[in-house]
Amino acid sequence: MRRLANELKDPRLRTPAAVADLACVVLHVAIFVVLPMAFVSVSVALGVYALRMSMLGVGLFAVLAPGHYPGEAACLDASQRKAGHFWLRQTVATVDFRTGPVGRWICAGLQYQIEHHLFPGLCHVHYPAVSEAVREFCSKHGLPYRTLGWGEALWKSYRVFFFPKPVIADVNTLRLSDGSAPSVTRAAEAARSKTGGGTAAQ
């Protein structure tokens, strides 16, 4: 919202897209906050809206966080977001997680987060087949490929708020020279000790 407000205040940044964003925000508030007040009290309308947004946040966390937040997924320094080899950056910063049939339907392929990062234009229905080839490629070329259970990944995602991950100052320190796949957390700790990097949650 702050970015949108800044864009709208500055004539140079006031693009049609920014105006459209504002219109969507106003429409959202009108439909989900103002309109219900015509049928229920203000407190009930606001309470239901708060509950709805909270549940939406929990759902998004359950789907998006497990692929990025666990300690096995490295937190790269901003200077490293485009440094090193593309495949190395994507495989060190993400993990896959296993789900059951319901979880597969809910996540819609995002449980294959490594494949999603490597092939963003590929339809998610192909991720299971592609994952085997990606795993083999990573093993052959010394790239990490980690898969966690959904529950484990969620727990580790929650823990990172209390035990922040180290920020990796050089992504190339995470390449696995022997083709094995140790925890990137240990590699990250080693990299931090070498570079003197700080800590931050991804």
Instruction: Give domain limits for the chain.
Output: 2-63, 68-195
Could you give the CA distance from residue 42 to residue 173 in angstroms, rounded to a whole number?
55
DSSP output for 150-197? HHHHHHHHHHTTTSPPBEES-GGGG--TTS----HHHHHHHHHHHHT-
166, 153, 186, 164: which is closest to 76 by C-alpha? 166
State the pLDDT at residue 17. 85
Written as one letter, the residue type at 58 is V
Per-residue pLDDT reduced to its tens digit, 138-170: 988 888 899 999 999 999 999 999 999 888 888
State the pLDDT at residue 202. 35
Could you give the CA distance from residue 52 to residue 44 in angstroms, rounded to a whole number?
12
Is the pTM higher than 0.75?
Answer: no
DSSP output for 69-102? SSTTS-EE-GGGTT-S-HHHHHHHH--EEE--HH
Per-residue pLDDT reduced to its tens digit, 50-83: 999 999 999 999 999 999 999 889 888 888 877 7
75, 65, 67: which is closest to 185 by C-alpha? 75
Q: Looking at the predicted structure, is the pLDDT value of residue 173 above 90?
A: no
Per-residue pLDDT reduced to its tens digit, 116-146: 999 989 999 999 999 999 999 998 888 889 9
Residue 191 token pair: 């990299």
Per-residue pLDDT reduced to its tens digit, 83-118: 778 888 899 899 999 998 999 999 999 999 999 999
Written as one letter, the residue type at 189 is E
Chain mean pLDDT for the chain: 83
